[in-house]
């Protein structure tokens, strides 16, 4: 998945406004060559004759479709859906299922699920976890998504946003269940069986 899953709603919006640009390496070489030959030139006079403004705009859009702006948009849509709908089901799922792993590498995720279960039935849970909470980050929150999970307050203290952390935990759980690194006690499909 590499960070964020591409949702149909977000993908449709971006693809409607996106044109793939072919020959990017050659275009970059031509731009670099023009810039080196005319270092004091005006962009409009030096670069646009080599690569049009429209092509450059298309290149920027293509970059943004997979870059931080795209990831932020995906996260915003995903968070709204999770908070409004799916989050209501999480307590019931966590109460009904017991997740296990035979590998110490995946213990942080098991601890993270325990934390989610601890707060699952809390009606008035805080926006951020308390500094005393055991909130595993390594092995749970991908580096590419940490900026939305870990926030710094006015005093410079790192705070863990609960909803964003829950989303990160559930994304990693999905991946680990699929490859059976984490398994569900008593389950057939996602249980601890060699021939699942």
Which tokens is 133 given?
Answer: 């909470």
Q: What is the pLDDT of residues 153-169, one digit of tens each?
A: 888 889 999 999 999 99
**In this structure, are residues 63 and 27 in contact, taking their beta carbons and an 8 Å threshold?**
no
Please give the Cα distance from 184 to 188 (Å, whole number): 9
* Best CA proximity match to 179, nearest among 167, 168, 190, 169: 190
Q: What is the pLDDT of residues 5-34, one digit of tens each?
A: 555 665 565 545 444 555 666 667 677 777
Q: Round to the nearest angstrom and report the end-to-end CA distance of the chain.
A: 22
* Best CA proximity match to 74, nearest among 164, 170, 166: 164
Q: What is the pLDDT of residues 103-138, one digit of tens each?
A: 899 999 999 999 999 888 776 667 899 989 999 999
Main-chain dihedrals φ then ψ at residue 150, nearest 5 degrees: -100, 120
pTM of the model: 0.62
Please give the Cα distance from 148 to 168 (Å, whole number): 10
């Amino acid at each position: 998945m590499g960070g964020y899953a591409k949702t149909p709603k977000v993908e449709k919006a971006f693809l409607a406004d996106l044109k793939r640009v072919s020959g990017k390496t050659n275009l970059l070489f031509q731009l670099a060559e023009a810039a080196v030959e005319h270092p004091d030139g005006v962009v409009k006079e030096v670069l646009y004759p080599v690569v049009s403004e429209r092509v450059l705009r298309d290149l920027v859009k293509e970059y943004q479709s997979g870059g931080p702006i795209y990831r932020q948009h995906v996260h915003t849509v995903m968070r709204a859906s999770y908070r409004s709908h799916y989050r209501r089901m999480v307590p019931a799922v966590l109460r009904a299922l017991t997740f296990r792993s035979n590998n110490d590498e995946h213990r942080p995720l098991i601890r993270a699920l325990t934390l989610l279960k601890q707060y699952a039935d809390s009606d008035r849970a805080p926006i951020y976890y308390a500094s005393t909470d055991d909130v595993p980050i390594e092995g749970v929150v991908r580096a590419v998504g940490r900026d939305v999970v870990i926030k710094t307050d006015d005093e410079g203290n790192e705070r863990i946003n609960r909803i964003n952390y829950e989303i990160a935990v559930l994304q990693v759980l999905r991946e680990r269940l699929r490859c059976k690194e984490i398994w569900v006690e008593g389950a057939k499909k996602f249980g601890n069986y060699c021939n699942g």
